[in-house]
Amino acid sequence: MSCEKITQANKKKITSDWNNLFPSLAIYKPMHLMNRLGPLLVGIILEVKSGKTDYIPTYHVHSLMRPFPAISLTLETTLNYVKLEWHDSKFHKLAQLMKENALIPFEGDIHLKTVLLGYKKHLLKSSIPCQPHEYEDMALISAWCNNKSEVKNSLEFAEMNMKKWPTNVLKRIGGIESWINSVKEKTIDIDTLKSIVDKQIVELKVEGLPVRNLLS
């Protein structure tokens, strides 16, 4: 027995249904909801699988502090897949589960410490242990908030964990000391950091998203 495939009309309804449960987010594209928290995008992508009979709700964050041509899925957290015929009966429960487990909350102004804790939780439980960009994000977010103490703490946290990485991985990033010095330079040049964010907002066409404050 073949399953019903997800059409454009289905996508519109599914997106609207999820948006009604997450009013703090805006529809970025069909099946993709987001808002902006300072230099970060926080959202939900409802990824349609290749067979087009089901979708996977995925929580994600994207840093605007590095030039990148598309929205990345940092802090990615996926839920169980949803077949089209299950949508009406399941999406409320899944949405509540996503709210409860979001590493960075979807609503309101958020303190820097909450954001950094979300990154730490992800890095410590991730099945992909060697993620230099996430460690860099922590330092850059702290710099964005002009919190030099947290910049220092983030780099020390990175160094502590990178010492456990395989030699070949460390070689790819140029070694721990070189990586830390490179990130330190970026945290000092706040004007360039903010310029990158401004350009990324335009290039990724996220100017119309709701904006929340990241508190230091």
pLDDT means per 10 residues, the chain with 216 residues, are 84 98 98 98 95 95 96 94 94 96 97 98 81 96 97 97 93 96 97 97 98 96
Domain end: 101, 125, 144, which one? Answer: 101
Q: Which of 35, 87, 85 is nearest to 62 (CA)?
A: 35
Alpha carbon distance 183, 81 (integer Å): 37
pLDDT at 179: 97
Residues 114 and 149 occupy one common structural domain: yes
Domain boundary among 40, 71, 101: 101
Same domain, 197 and 114: yes
Structure tokens at 35: 């808002």
Residues 135 and 154 in one domain: yes
Check if the beta carbon of residue 25 is closer than 8 Å to that of residue 34: yes
- State how many domains the chain has: 2
Cβ atoms 76, 60 nearer than 8 A: yes
CA-to-CA distance for 111 and 147, rounded, in angstroms? 12
Question: The whole model's pTM is what?
Answer: 0.94
Same-domain status, 88 and 116: no
Q: Is 170 contained in some domain? A: yes
Residue spans of alpha helices (H) in the chain: 8-21, 87-101, 112-125, 132-144, 148-162, 167-172, 176-188, 190-203
In this structure, the answer to whether residues 130 and 178 fall within a common structural domain is yes
Q: Which tokens belong to 155?
A: 């780099």
Based on the fold, state whether residues 197 and 127 are members of the same structural domain.
yes
Q: Are strands 110-111 and 26-29 parallel, antiparallel or unpaired?
A: unpaired
Residue 202: both structure tokens together: 């335009």
Spatial contact of 24 and 210, defined as CB atoms under 8 Å apart = yes
In a domain, 87, yes or no: yes
- 114 and 211 both lie in a single domain: yes
What the block records as the tokens of 179 is 């990586």
Give the domain extent around 131.
Answer: 110-215
- 50 CB-near residues (< 8 Å, 6+ apart): none
Helix (H/G/I), strand (E/B), else coil: 216: coil
Q: What is the pLDDT of residue 120?
A: 96
Beta-strand pair 26-29/40-48: unpaired
Confidence at residue 2, expressed as pLDDT on a 0 to 100 scale: 57
Looking at the domain assignment, is residue 1 inside a domain? no
| pLDDT reported for residue 1 | 43
The answer to whether 59 touches 101, Cβ cutoff 8 Å, is yes
Q: Is residue 148 part of a domain?
A: yes
Whether residues 145 and 191 share a domain: the answer is: yes
> For residue 19, what is the DSSP state?
H
- Has residue 53 been placed in a domain? yes
Which pLDDT value is given to residue 42? 98
Residue 26 in any domain: the answer is: yes
Q: Which of 156, 74, 183 is nearest to 122 (CA)?
A: 74
Q: Is 134 in the same domain as 75?
A: no
For residues 133 and 185, state if they share a domain.
yes
**Same domain membership, residue 135 and residue 46:** no
Give the per-residue pLDDT at 151. Answer: 98
Residue 3 covered by a domain = no
Cα–Cα dist 74/145, whole Å: 20
93 in the same domain as 31: yes
Whether residue 172 lies inside any domain: the answer is yes
Residue 113: per-residue pLDDT: 98
End position of a domain, from candidates 39, 73, 101: 101
